[in-house]
Copies of this chain bind each other. A is one copy, B any other.
Amino acid sequence: MTELSRRHILTGAAASVALAPFAAASVHAAAPLSGKQAPSFYRSKLGDFEITVVSDGARAIPLPATFVRNISNEQVLAAAEAAYMPKGSIIAPFNPIVVNTGAKLVLIDTGYGPGLGPTVGLLPFTLAAAGIDPKAIDIVLISHMHGDHILGLKTPDGALAFPNAEIKVPSVDWAFWMNDDNMSKAPEGFTKASFGFNRKIFSNLADKVTRYDWGQEVAPGVTAVESSGHTPGHTSFVIASGSGRLFFQGDVTNVPELFLRNPDWQVMFDHEPEKAVQTRRRIYDMASAEKILVCGYHFPFPGLGYIEKAGTGYRLVPAAWSPVL
């Protein structure tokens, strides 16, 4: 009996090369590689609603020394390595969702829009694969006004990507990000860039955008929930139908293997870091007690799971994948 051994695994490649002539002698035609990934959308029922997670893609984010403000870069790099991320980076997915209430099609967050790179801005393609016409979207809800959530509101030529949709943004974020005084005082880098993205998308839309407040029912069955800190107006949504509940957490935390496990880590994208930490613990203490299904914008696709307390932080228990609806 052959046992699994290091040597065994390591010599597999050599054996495969040796067998190449045999493969070439096959009577069957060589199978062309498909070269194409499956479309990344995923459906689930929530009461009478249908939820479709529609991926905008994913990208590797490098980990500069400033990536987590209050933690050494060595620790961050070690955590990324322990999570099997590509060396010196994390893979951040982007998971907008479509809520179909049967009467309204509601898109929550819009991704980057096409053009930033080959692995993001995929939402239009994912929507097409899922059979969802951008013209049929009735409401676009924005959780907060960062580029990866708003840039997809416009096509590369500046037109509205969802031309028939009411666009709803958190009033607190609008007041902050559309304020010229705040922009002039913003530090260079991520924050300054975020102001620029908001100008690009919203400058000519001020009278078209609806500003919502926390506690409001912003779409049928969808309630805006205060979860600020990541941005001043950062908002989560409770989606409710029948006995079904889904908590769309937006960016309460980033990729779970780093930041859900370490809720006190202050990622560079958190605008008010200490408030963001308080919000995380408040939300996750509640979510773990409620055992409510959570959708994370930066959780591994399809981003659905449950929050469990673990050690001094939390862990994600992914929801079972259902191959049928």
Contacts and interface: CB of A to CB of B under 8 A. Distances in A.
Given A23-B104, A83-B317, A104-B23, A93 B4 contact: no
A187 interface: no
A33 B9 contact: no
A28 B215 CA distance: 26
A301 to B, nearest CB: 4
B223 A8 contact: yes
Contacts of A19: 217, 220-221
Contacts of A243: 13
Contact of A15 (B240, B286, B300, B323): B240
A312 interface: no
Contact of A292 (B9, B238, B324): B9
A238 B286 contact: no
Contact of A217 (B4, B16, B129): B16
Given A12-B239, A57-B323, 14 more contacts: A2-B215, A6-B286, A9-B240, A9-B292, A12-B223, A15-B240, A16-B217, A23-B101, A30-B103, A37-B325, A93-B321, A118-B324, A119-B323, A122-B324
